[in-house]
């Protein structure tokens, strides 16, 4: 074949003119999603977690899948984030599942149960104990796919305007709590409140609240709760952990390329680690600052802990008896929780106690 004919057959003419263009495989599509979040901007760790999540999704997809936080996308005051995302209000959103426990009580297991799992144990149940599959089954008819995206770790027991010496001091106490803790408090004679984070300090100052539980030292310090209610009680038995969730609209997720779906899952898992580690890193210094500014730390009386534990067990059993959906999740969670508590008593708790002992002074001759 002459050279001229060869070039023509290859799609090139004299002078390099293109006579035919071979098909070129297209890369992944450029997609942009708005993100909704209930996390207040004053709380830097939670918002840092949001920024970490969207940055990782972009990095994992070569900046072809961009997620931007949109402040205009917010559920109504009484609408849980998972419902907002499931109804198409946003393709993706972050929040706490127990906000919807009034309608689906089993969602407490996706956030926190009094006297339940700590953050490490929660991750173990979700990722290795079947918890995530059970929660996704619960939320299948809500049109969302949930992912663990962070955890505050063990929280403080709450900030009180006056000392709490006995269980009777909880009678009539107007106490801001969340999730299942509200029912436990009610059982003990208290009056659970749902005051928003932005009103907590003011409500304590004007005495419309007697006590408030938000999170741990870092967040509570930023909200200034100790300025209005100086007595801080521990342990935080009401929320030994508080898992946060990322909800992805099911239809929107189904339209994503597989590699983008995987990027969201990986980014959520990394954000889960980032948020939890950030709280663990910053809480000790915040606790020191709280006490330096006048916070008074007190352990809860044993009488209150025992009464609250009994109330929790009774509430869990009652919910399991009333709902097959709750009973199915509880049947997985309860033995896992009991086994974790036993293991941690033998290993982790004993190590923590021994590690905190002060070594004897070396004798000098």
Residues facing 249 on adjacent strands:
144
Q: What is residue 12's DSSP assignment?
A: B
Is pLDDT of 22 > 50? no
The pLDDT of residue 12:
31
Task: Let me know if residue 312 belongs to a domain.
Answer: yes
Residue 195 within a domain: yes
Q: Which two tokens stand for residue 29?
A: 């599509």
Percent of the residues in the chain that have a pLDDT greater than 70, as a whole number: 91
Nearest to 126 by CA among 253, 239, 268, 263: 268
**Tens digit of pLDDT for each residue in 32-82?**
999 999 787 789 999 999 999 999 999 999 999 999 999 999 998 889 999
The count of other CB atoms within 10 Å of the CB of residue 167 is: 17
pLDDT > 50? residue 9? no
Structural domain count of the chain? 1
Ordered alpha helix ranges (H), the chain: 3-9, 44-60, 81-86, 119-128, 131-138, 181-187, 200-205, 217-223, 225-228, 250-254, 258-292, 302-322, 324-346, 348-355
Select from 342, 353, 343, 341 the least CA-distant residue to 115.
341
State the average pLDDT over residues 223-230: 97
C-alpha 255/C-alpha 259 separation (Å) is: 12
In a domain, 352, yes or no: no
CA-wise closest residue to 69 among 100, 29, 116, 35: 35
- Give the pLDDT score at 359: 65
Asked if the structure places residue 3 within a domain, the reply is no
pLDDT for residue 365: 43
- State how far the Cα of 323 lies from the Cα of 321, in Å rounded to an integer: 6
Report if residue 361 sits inside a domain: no
What does the alpha-carbon distance between residue 245 and residue 242 come to, in Å, rounded to a whole number? Answer: 10
Strand partners of residue 247 = 93, 146
Copy the structure tokens of residue 281. 């890193």
Q: At CA 193, angle to CA 188 and CA 199, rounded to 5? A: 145
In a domain, 355, yes or no: no
Residue 22 belongs to a domain: no
Are 36 and 73 a contacting pair, CB within 8 Å? Answer: yes
pLDDT digits (tens, 9 = 90+) for 347-363: 999 999 999 886 655 54
Is 178 a residue whose pLDDT tops 80?
A: yes
Reduced 3-state DSSP string for 98-152 = HHHCCCCHHHHHHCCCCCCCCHHHHHHHHHHCCHHHHHHHHCHHHCEEEEEEEEC
pLDDT in the model for residue 27: 77
Full residue range of the structural domain in which residue 283 is found: 29-343
Distance from C-alpha of 229 to C-alpha of 205, rounded to nearest angstrom:
8
At 56-65, the pLDDT tens digits run: 999 999 999 9
For 122-140, b/e burial (b = at least 16 CB within 10 A) is bbbbbeebebbebbeebbe
Q: Is 22 exposed, middle or buried (0-12, 13-18, 19+ CB in 10 A)?
A: exposed
Q: What is the pLDDT of residue 42?
A: 81
Q: Is 125 among the domain residues?
A: yes
Q: 248, 89 in Cβ contact below 8 A?
A: no
CATH code for the domain of 240: 3.40.190.170
Say what the pLDDT of residue 176 is: 97
């Amino acid at each position: 074949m002459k050279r001229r004919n060869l070039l023509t057959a290859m799609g090139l003419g004299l002078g390099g003119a293109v006579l035919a263009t071979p098909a070129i495989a297209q890369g992944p599509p450029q997609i942009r999603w708005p993100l909704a979040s209930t996390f207040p901007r004053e709380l830097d760790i939670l918002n840092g977690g949001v920024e970490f999540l969207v940055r990782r999704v972009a990095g994992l997809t070569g900046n072809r899948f961009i997620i931007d936080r949109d402040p205009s996308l917010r559920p109504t005051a009484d609408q849980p984030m998972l419902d907002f995302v499931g109804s198409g209000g946003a393709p993706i959103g972050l929040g706490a599942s127990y906000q919807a426990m009034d309608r689906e009580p089993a969602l407490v297991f996706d956030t926190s149960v009094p006297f339940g799992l700590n953050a490490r144990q929660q991750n173990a149940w979700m990722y290795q104990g079947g918890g995530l599959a059970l929660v996704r089954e619960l939320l299948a008819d809500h049109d969302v796919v949930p992912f663990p995206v962070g955890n505050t770790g063990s929280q403080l027991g709450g900030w009180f305007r006056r000392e709490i010496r006995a269980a009777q001091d909880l009678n009539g106490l107007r106490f801001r709590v969340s999730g299942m803790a509200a029912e436990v408090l009610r059982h003990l004679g208290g009056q659970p409140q749902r005051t928003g984070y932005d009103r907590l300090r003011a409500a304590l100052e004007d005495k419309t609240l007697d006590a408030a539980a938000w999170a741990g030292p870092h967040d509570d310090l930023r909200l200034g709760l100790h300025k209005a209610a100086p007595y801080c009680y521990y342990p935080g038995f009401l929320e030994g952990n508080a898992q946060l969730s990322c909800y992805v609209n099911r239809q929107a997720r189904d339209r994503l390329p597989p590699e983008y779906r995987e990027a969201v899952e990986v980014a959520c898992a990394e954000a889960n680690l980032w948020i939890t580690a950030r709280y663990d890193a910053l809480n000790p210094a915040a606790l020191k600052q709280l006490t330096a500014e006048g916070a008074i730390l007190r352990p809860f009386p044993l009488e209150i802990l025992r009464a609250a534990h009994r109330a929790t067990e009774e509430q869990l059993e009652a919910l399991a008896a009333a709902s097959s959906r709750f009973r199915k999740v509880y049947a997985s969670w309860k033995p896992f929780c009991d086994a974790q508590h036993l293991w941690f008593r033998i290993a982790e708790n004993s190590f923590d106690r021994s590690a905190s002992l002060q070594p004897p002074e070396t004798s000098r001759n």
